[in-house]
Structure formats: C-alpha cells, structure tokens
Structure 1
Amino acid sequence: MRNVPTRAISLMIRAYKDIFPMVHKELNYWKKRAREIPDPELRKQALSSIETKTFHCEGGAIYAILAKSDYKKVIPFIVAYQTISDYLDNLCDRSTSLDPLDFSALHESMRHALTVGAKHTDYYRYRNEKNDGGYLAELVEVCQRVLKQVPHYPIIHGSLLNLCDYYCQLQIHKHVHPNDRERRLQQWFSEHKEQFPELKWYEFSASAGSTLGIFCLVSYGMREEFHHEDHTAILKGYFPYIQGLHILLDYFIDQEEDRLEGDLNFCFYYNDLKTLGRRMVMFIQKADEYTKGLPDEKFHRLINRGLLGLYLSDEKVKMDKQIDGIVKQLLQSGGLKSKFFYMNAKLYRKWQQVFQ
C-alpha cells in the first residue's frame, strides 16, 4: 500500500513519477476525441479548454494519492470531471450564449457524472450548436464507471452532489448578461448567508467554484478504512476555506486579463488591494485551521501551500505590477513550503516550454 506523502519533496516526486504521466495519457485521449467533434464551435471550445487548462487536471489529480494503492483508478475520474468543468466553462464564458437555461442544461452533465446510473439528457437543448459526437456523454460515462468502483460511494454521494450544486449555480449566475450577474449572485448568497455569516457574497461565490472537495472525497471513498466522521470533516474543511483559497488565487492572478476583457473577477469587489491581501491571508489561515484533524492532515496542509506556490508563480503575475506586494505577503504567510512549491512550479513551466 502506498503511503500518503507528508513532505513537499516526496509529494512532488510522486506527482512527477506516478500522477502527471497518467494525466497526460488521459488528456491525450480526450484531445483526440475533441478533434472528432463535428460542430466547429463545440470542437474549438473543447480543444481550447484542454490546451489552456491542463494544469487544472494535473493539480486535481494529485488528490488521487489519497486513494493509496488505488490511485490509478481515480485519475480517469478526476481528468474526465475536470475536463467537463473546463469545457463547460468555455462554452458559458467564451461561446455564443448568455441564456441561464442553456447553462443549467449543460451543467446537468456534471450532476449526472456524479450519479451512477443517471441517464443522459440533451445537454445542448437550449443552444444552436448541438453535435459533439458524443463527447460530453462519454466524459460523463467515464466518471460514472469509476464511481461504480468506489466502495464508499453511498456515503459520499450526497456531499458530492452538494458541492456540485454550489459549482453549477455559480456557473449559471456568473455567465448571464453582465447587467444581471451581480444581482443574481447576491440573491443566491442571501439564501446561504446564515450558514456562512463570516463570508462576503463574492467570497462565497469563489468557494463554490472549485472541484477540489469532490476530488478529495472520491479519492478517500476508494479507501477501505474511510469513516463517515472523516467524510463530514473533509466537507467542512474544503467548503468554504480550502476551495475559497483555491479560486481566489485563480481570480487574483487573472485580474489584469479580466480587466482588459471586461470579465467578472471576484477580487475586484474588495475596497482596495490592502483589504484583498488581508482577506486572502485570512483564507490561508482558515484553510490551515480546518485542515487540523483531517485524516492525512499534513498532506492537506501541503495542498494549501502548493496552491499558493502554483498560482503565485504564474507568468500572469509578472504582468500585473500592482499585485507584487500582495504576492510577497501571501508567500510569506505560506512559509518555506510555499516558496518551495513556488520555485518548483516555475521550473516545471520552463521544462514544459523546452519540451513541448
């Protein structure tokens, strides 16, 4: 049985040796399938989502390590589910529709992907582009096939759907017409505010936008020794703070790009950069606090540090000089392990550029 890494260097060795090669093998298959999509717009968005967001699958697949000796069974699920997420994000964000009914229909696929035995619906029924050659349905089927093998699937299924519903609601509300999205997101948060009184509406929205909790639960669900109390602790640990840290970092590095494109960015809602930095440090601290007591606590803490290193080392950060001070503040807050992951991610990106 493979042990779960508790040190940064052993985690990265496992990632490079066991995880990333398998992720790239899976993605090569989905790239081939995407190239076969008959509709040119759907084909374009499917290929673009894989080519520009490979690191989402790489990062998410690190959670497969939690399945110990069964990690190879989990990776196809993580890659397929994340590919659905990235593909639909492109269809909602960069394609031809602003219709919430369309976004809702598309995202039925994410719920079906988490439900063994769920039948496909016509996910494209509210849009002109329909013929994807079975691409989205096949992604859903791969997820279902893996979940069929998860021993503790009945324990985690409800929580998987709960996290999925947060994610899907966010995608529906944030991609409608710009005049409507803020009002819709605030109204949505008002339904949950009592449960999360410490959050702003835009922080709640950010927390909903991550798939990490789903990957974590599925990976643990593969283990024989998984217990119901662990499941509850993981859910509380990941939503809102670990997932919130993940997505706030994603928005943090995209600020300049989103400003130019006129896209919604949750970091824009803070009064100033100082407040943004302070709240992000709070998310780091809360993520660590909720990591305490989780099974494999040190692994989850490494993930928190890895998120900081991965996102803050992105090339986009160099292009936005305004955020340089916050980058230093966040790395300082994350300590030596964040700096290790920061340097590692920079070197990995350079290596990829050389060998692509």
Structure 2
Amino acid sequence: MYQVYKNIFPAVHQELERWIELAKAIPDEELRTQALASIEEKTFHCEGGAIYSVLAGNEAREAIRFIVAYQTISDYLDNLCDRSTSMDPEDFRMLHQSMADALTPTNETKDYYRYREEKNDGGYLHQLVKTCQDVLGKAEGYEMVGDYTLKLGSLYSDLQVHKHVIEEERIPRLQQWFEMHRKEWPELKWYEFSACTGSTLGIFCLVSYTLGGRIDHSLAAQVERSYFPFMQGLHILLDYYIDQDEDELEGDLNFCAYYEHEDQMKKRFKYFVERTHQEIKKLPDPAFHQMIHEGLVGMYLADRKVGKLQNAKSFVKDMLKSSGKKATFFYYNTKIYHRLKPGREL
C-alpha cells in the first residue's frame, strides 16, 4: 500500500493530467464534456488498474502509461454511450473499434465517430489509441498475448453495445448473446456472464506480465482462465452492487437487480469469491493476485455509497468474512483514505 500511494497513484495522476489538458482542447462541446467528466468521475478506475504495473518490474511506468490510456478510452466511451445522443448499435460498435485498435499495434486508427453527429474531438481518441499501440508495439512478446487481450477486449465491447441500445432491446440482446457462450459457462446466469465481460483487469494483467518480460503461451492462457470469468465477474458485480440506488434513479441497467432476492445475491457473490480464490492460486505471484482479489472486495465495500443501501451492514460483514483478512484490512484502509481525502472517491 505504501508503494501504491507513494509511487503508483502519483504516476497515474501525472498521466491523467496530460489527458485532461487534451480533453479541455476538444472542439466539440458534448465530446469535451464527456471526456472531462469520465476522468473526473472515474479516476479510481485508473488508480486501481495501475496496481498491475507492479508485475511489469522495471517497465512499470510503461505499464501505467498503457493502463491509464486504455482505461480512459473505456471510461470515455462508457460516458458517450451512457449519456448518448445516439442509441444506434452501429455507432457503439464503431466507437469501441478504438479499443480493438488500441490492442493491435499494427492497426490504423479510424473514424470512430462515423455514425454520430458529434465528430470533432481534436484527435483526442486517436491519441489515446496511439499511446496504447506505442507501448504494446515496443513490448517484447506481445504477439503471445494479443489473441487473449483481443478476446477479452471483444467481449467487453460486445457488452457495451448490447447494454446501451434502446431499453426494450437490452435484455433480449444480452440473453441471446449469452446463449452463444452458455455451453462454456453453464454455471453462470446471463446477467453474471455479462458482468464478467465488463472488466479490464485481465488485459492489464496480461500486458503487465508482458512488459515485465515474463510472458509465455502457458502463462497467457492461465491468466485468461484465472481472471475470466470469476475474478472479472466479482469485480463488476461489486461495482454494480454499490451503484444500485444510483442506477435505479438514472434508469440504468444494473445486473444485481436480476437476482431474485438478497440471500441469492449474497450466495452467488460468495461463489464468485470462492472460485476466484481457486483460480488465482494457479498463477505465479499468487500473493499479489490474492491481494488484488481481497482488495477489490474491501475497497468496493468501503465506498460511501454502500452505507445508503438496504441491509448493507450484514452484506458487508458476510462478504468480508468470506473474502479473508486482507479484505478487512483494505476495507478499513479505504475508509481512512476517504476521510483524509473527503472530495475523492476510490
């Protein structure tokens, strides 16, 4: 935690300052508003993701450069789709082509705004994509992980397209999409599978191991299995858990709403915790991945929004008990962080 606060977070904020300056210069008002809002509201996504830079060793700064740029694309596009002037799946698909290009150093950048009215971002999205490509293009061994990052990135993009179309089409599209994957993951519900695809953690782990010079085909395959679906699913289900009231107010899709009752939700969250425990033991640096796992639980449950949720106290107590002692450490550590920085959310 000392290293995180002393070295990693300051490096993240340095990278974000660069993107904030570029975002301020975006000519189109709507694109500028969403770019700035996505950084202001979701800085903690970049902070959390950048912890994976520890795995990159001497190339940690390059890992942070990639993670911040890639996560900023993700958060920016999420804002564009969530608060969109468009409900066109073709538009959402084209926007998210930028994420596939960011993971493919040889790809040319494209007109990602082709299907929407707002187009002039002054090169902001292209610069984000090119930054990712620059890091990956110089990363020795990336060819061994490219298929895995693209697979995870493609699932993420599919989710963003399906969940942002007109309201009456969202659930049928997501259910139909899950049917294509049900055979591989029969133990999941459609809304759980959707949650599992919504995380960028597996990509950050793969890229960081690559930059650290430790990747091979076997490790790349194991990272994918260890992170998808359960670690990523736990990450996003926790994210949806804390946003339940907010999403109900905004009329946004929330996957936690599809559990029949709270006991079922608690049982399934514990299942994700247990499966994540099992899978990350198969990775090198298991203590690091365990820290991430328990840190996710502790940090999300310490969010200020949790206190406003019904039955939150018993839910938090049970989840911390199931997740291990480090989860409790992160829970209280994050609570203290909130008190020290009252204007910030982590």
Relative to the length of structure 1, the TM-score reads 0.95
Inter-partner Cα distance in structure 1 for 2:117 and 2:172: 27
Secondary structure class of the residue paired with 2:122: coil
Match for 1:281 among 270, 275, 294?
A: 270
Which consecutive unaligned segments of at least 5 residues does structure 1 have? 1-11
Residue matched to 1:172: 161
Residue identity matched to 1:168:
S
Identical aligned residues as a percent: 54
Residue matched to 1:161: 150
- Count of equivalent residues: 345
Residue matched to 1:304: 293
Inter-partner Cα distance in structure 1 for 2:46 and 2:19: 12
Deviation at 1:151, TM superposition (A): 1.0
Residue matched to 2:49: 60
Secondary structure class of the residue paired with 1:105: helix
Contact 2:197–2:229 (CA<8 Å) still a contact in 1?
yes
Match for 1:185 among 162, 171, 174?
A: 174
Contact 2:56–2:213 (CA<8 Å) still a contact in 1?
no
Residue identity matched to 1:258:
D
- 1:101-120 aligned at under 5 Å gives the runs 101-120=90-109
Residue identity matched to 1:65:
V
Match for 2:196 among 197, 207, 210?
A: 207
Deviation at 1:196, TM superposition (A): 0.7
Residue matched to 2:246: 257
CA deviations over 1:34-90 (Å, ceiling 9, x no partner)? 110000000000000000000000000000100112111110100000000000000
Residue matched to 1:71: 60
Deviation at 1:224, TM superposition (A): 2.6
Match for 2:73 among 67, 80, 84?
A: 84
Residue matched to 1:237: 226
Inter-partner Cα distance in structure 1 for 2:83 and 2:100: 22
Inter-partner Cα distance in structure 1 for 2:86 and 2:318: 39
Q: Does 1:272 align with 2:272?
A: no
Inter-partner Cα distance in structure 2 for 1:354 and 1:183: 39
Runs of at least 4 residues of structure 1 off by over 4 A?
A: none
Deviation at 1:325, TM superposition (A): 1.9
Residue matched to 2:304: 315
Secondary structure class of the residue paired with 1:353: coil
Q: Does 1:352 align with 2:344?
A: no
Contact 2:226–2:282 (CA<8 Å) still a contact in 1?
no
Residues 224-233 or 67-76, more deviating: 224-233
Secondary structure class of the residue paired with 1:118: coil
Inter-partner Cα distance in structure 2 for 1:189 and 1:261: 25
Inter-partner Cα distance in structure 1 for 2:121 and 2:229: 34
Inter-partner Cα distance in structure 2 for 1:335 and 1:239: 21
Inter-partner Cα distance in structure 2 for 1:323 and 1:61: 29
Inter-partner Cα distance in structure 2 for 1:355 and 1:137: 29
Deviation at 1:324, TM superposition (A): 2.8
Secondary structure class of the residue paired with 2:204: helix
CA RMSD between the two structures: 1.2
CA deviations over 1:255-296 (Å, ceiling 9, x no partner)? 111111111000000000000000001001100100112010
Residue matched to 2:283: 294
Contact 2:4–2:51 (CA<8 Å) still a contact in 1?
yes
Inter-partner Cα distance in structure 2 for 1:133 and 1:227: 39
Inter-partner Cα distance in structure 1 for 2:195 and 2:282: 24
Inter-partner Cα distance in structure 2 for 1:14 and 1:61: 12
Contact 1:64–1:71 (CA<8 Å) still a contact in 2?
yes
Change over 3 Å in CA distance of 1:334–1:355 after alignment to 2: closer
Residue matched to 2:215: 226
Residue identity matched to 2:297:
L
Residue identity matched to 2:109:
H
Residue matched to 1:134: 123
Contact 1:151–1:223 (CA<8 Å) still a contact in 2?
no
Which consecutive unaligned segments of at least 5 residues does structure 2 have? none
Change over 3 Å in CA distance of 1:192–1:277 after alignment to 2: same
Inter-partner Cα distance in structure 1 for 2:27 and 2:165: 27
Residues 346-355 or 87-96, more deviating: 346-355
CA deviations over 1:168-191 (Å, ceiling 9, x no partner)? 000000000110000000000000
Contact 2:320–2:327 (CA<8 Å) still a contact in 1?
yes
Inter-partner Cα distance in structure 2 for 1:128 and 1:217: 36
Residue identity matched to 2:204:
F
Residue identity matched to 1:310:
M
Residue identity matched to 1:215:
F
Secondary structure class of the residue paired with 1:193: coil
Change over 3 Å in CA distance of 1:70–1:265 after alignment to 2: same
